Structure 1
């Protein structure tokens, strides 16, 4: 039996002019078929102060979200410390190391990518993207930051996701965009 690869998503976070926004499309694909078009890949934690976005296996991502929230509680809502501790646990724990997902986490002023290889990345230019259409969305957001600085972070996220959806067959125009609360 051939295992069908579940592919999905484009998630992007942008910090611009003192504003943070994180967004994702809603598509999940199995092979070359759209399995679902309205998946919610953005979650708010800590009463909306932290916004997370995930790409990869949905069940794996929910497991990681739960563990990340536990780390946030354990480290007094220190997002960077919680991210580092999650990445360490993700890499070394036998069960967690098999999970296939990536996460973007953001608060009002900080943006991080967390991967299962133990990486916690602070992206250059304050733009982070993960998922199948990430390179398209990242390129669009970087161009918007450079050539359309009058746009808000939310507008940049929306336009970047729409550009990715126009190009990437694993990304759709059903968008969810959230901003972390202060």
Structure 2
């Protein structure tokens, strides 16, 4: 495979909401084709003075473009994450430049968790758990299996689920970054 034919491959981003805690966690691996380029990338971050957490899977530059656009929408619609996300998704789907961006986002505040995609999707999970990326289904399955164990908080569930995803997905590693929100 030539460098030009190589594709940027996945990651795993997981968001778990349980009781009064929200945790977003992501692995640090960046791969080009079958080569690991970096193992400590930070794909989860806080936005708008720490009131919103966001994580991405896909192209880093594309994701940062989307983060910037989301922050602009949040300035237009303060404290209205759903409205800002819908407006971003509309732009993303219809704008000629944005349509080419290859990333997915999970964004969350104290009230809502959303998945955003370039096809115009703005989806809220029913159970407070959502994941994206190449290892997303592994992490999602593990988190759903663990969510009803009363002794486990959101952080413990997220860490255990990411361990499983990292063990199963070759494009996901165990170098994790995490952000938390305490929900009132």
Q: Given that residues 157 and 177 in structure 1 are in contact (C-alpha distance below 8 angstroms), is that contact kept between their aligned partners in structure 2?
A: no
Task: Name the counterpart of 2:159.
Answer: 158
Task: Name the counterpart of 2:102.
Answer: 100
Shift of 1:181: 5.5
Task: Name the counterpart of 2:19.
Answer: 17
Moved over 2 A (4+): none
Q: Given that residues 23 and 178 in structure 2 are in contact (C-alpha distance below 8 angstroms), is that contact kept between their aligned partners in structure 1?
A: yes
> What TM-score results when the alignment is normalised by the length of structure 1?
0.96
Task: Name the counterpart of 2:65.
Answer: 63
Distance in 1 of aligned mates of 2:35 and 2:54: 26
1:118 alignment partner, SS class: coil
Q: Given that residues 24 and 175 in structure 1 are in contact (C-alpha distance below 8 angstroms), is that contact kept between their aligned partners in structure 2?
A: yes
> What TM-score results when the alignment is normalised by the length of structure 2?
0.95
Shift of 1:77: 2.5
Q: Aligned-residue CA RMSD in angstroms?
A: 1.1
Distance in 2 of aligned mates of 1:26 and 1:158: 14
Task: Name the counterpart of 2:77.
Answer: 75
Structure 1 unaligned runs (5+)?
none
